[in-house]
């Protein structure tokens, strides 16, 4: 019986810690996140759709900017499923790599830009809660999460591109 009581107290303690983090989050982080969301939306409207489109076309031309900058700009400046729209600017062999990069980068972008993919914010908040309770600085975790996301997105895009090229060559050899 004592084991059940101890287990219940432990579970209750976990919920108390979660509640403490929620209250701390509502007091400290929520106002900042709301302001960042508003700021990003203002920037989107000031820039305008035409300029965003021109910027996306410009970044799609170069190989380096295509895998580093294009997914970042799409996640930050486009809403929802619009992040896949820049794939239309790419050649057929580059589309899979772009889609891989932009979907990989969607979660890590929310650490520094919560308004970018606000529906994905719960993933970063889970990481932030664990980091905060372990005594780490949440802003440092957000930066590391962002940099790691950029690196992983680039790596995945390059690997997807290499695999696509290899499979295309194999397919052409079979047809001959």
Convert the pLDDT of each residue in 62-111 to its tens digit.
Answer: 888 888 889 988 888 887 788 888 998 898 888 999 999 998 888 888 77
pLDDT at residue 156 tops 90: yes
At 116, the pLDDT band (50, 70, 90 cuts) reads: confident
Residue 112: what pLDDT?
78
Q: Which residue, chain included where needed, has tokens 């910027």? A: 55
For 173, other C-beta atoms within 10 Å of its C-beta total: 8
pLDDT at residue 160 tops 90: yes
Alpha helices in the chain (DSSP H): 2-24, 30-47, 49-61, 63-77, 92-105, 109-112, 121-133, 138-175
Average pLDDT, the chain: 84
For 54, other C-beta atoms within 10 Å of its C-beta total: 12
Retrieve residue 114's tokens. Answer: 């919560």
DSSP assignment of 26-66 equals IIIIHHHHHHHHHHHHHHHHHH-HHHHHHHHHHHHHSHHHH
Question: Does residue 84 or residue 27 have the better pLDDT?
Answer: 84
Q: Which residue, chain included where needed, has tokens 């107290």? A: 9
Residue 176: what pLDDT?
54
State how far Cα 112 lies from the chain centre: 9
Question: Does residue 144 or residue 118 have the better pLDDT?
Answer: 144
Question: Does residue 63 or residue 168 have the better pLDDT?
Answer: 168
Task: Answer for the pair 67, 157: CB distance below 8 angstroms, yes or no.
Answer: yes
What distance in Å separates the CA atoms of residue 146 and residue 54, rounded to the nearest whole number?
25
pLDDT (mean) for 106-126:
76
Retrieve residue 70's tokens. Answer: 């294009």
pLDDT at residue 167 tops 70: yes
Domain range annotation of the chain = 2-175
Question: Does residue 30 or residue 145 have the better pLDDT?
Answer: 145
């Amino acid at each position: 019986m004592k084991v059940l009581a101890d287990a219940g107290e432990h579970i209750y303690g976990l919920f108390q810690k979660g509640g403490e983090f929620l209250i701390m989050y509502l007091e400290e982080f929520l106002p900042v996140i709301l302001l960042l969301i508003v700021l990003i939306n203002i920037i989107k409207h000031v820039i305008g759709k035409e300029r965003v489109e021109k910027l996306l076309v410009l970044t799609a031309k170069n190989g380096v900017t295509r895998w580093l900058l294009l997914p970042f700009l799409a996640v930050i400046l486009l809403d929802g499923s619009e992040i896949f729209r820049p794939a239309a600017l790419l050649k057929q062999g580059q589309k899979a790599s772009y889609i891989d990069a932009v979907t990989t980068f969607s979660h890590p972008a929310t650490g520094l830009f919560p308004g970018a993919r606000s529906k994905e914010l719960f993933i970063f908040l889970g990481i932030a809660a664990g980091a905060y309770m372990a005594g780490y600085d949440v802003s440092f975790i957000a930066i590391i999460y962002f940099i790691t996301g950029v690196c992983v997105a680039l790596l995945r895009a390059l690997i997807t591109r290499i695999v696509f090229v290899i499979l295309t060559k194999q397919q052409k050899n079979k047809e001959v």
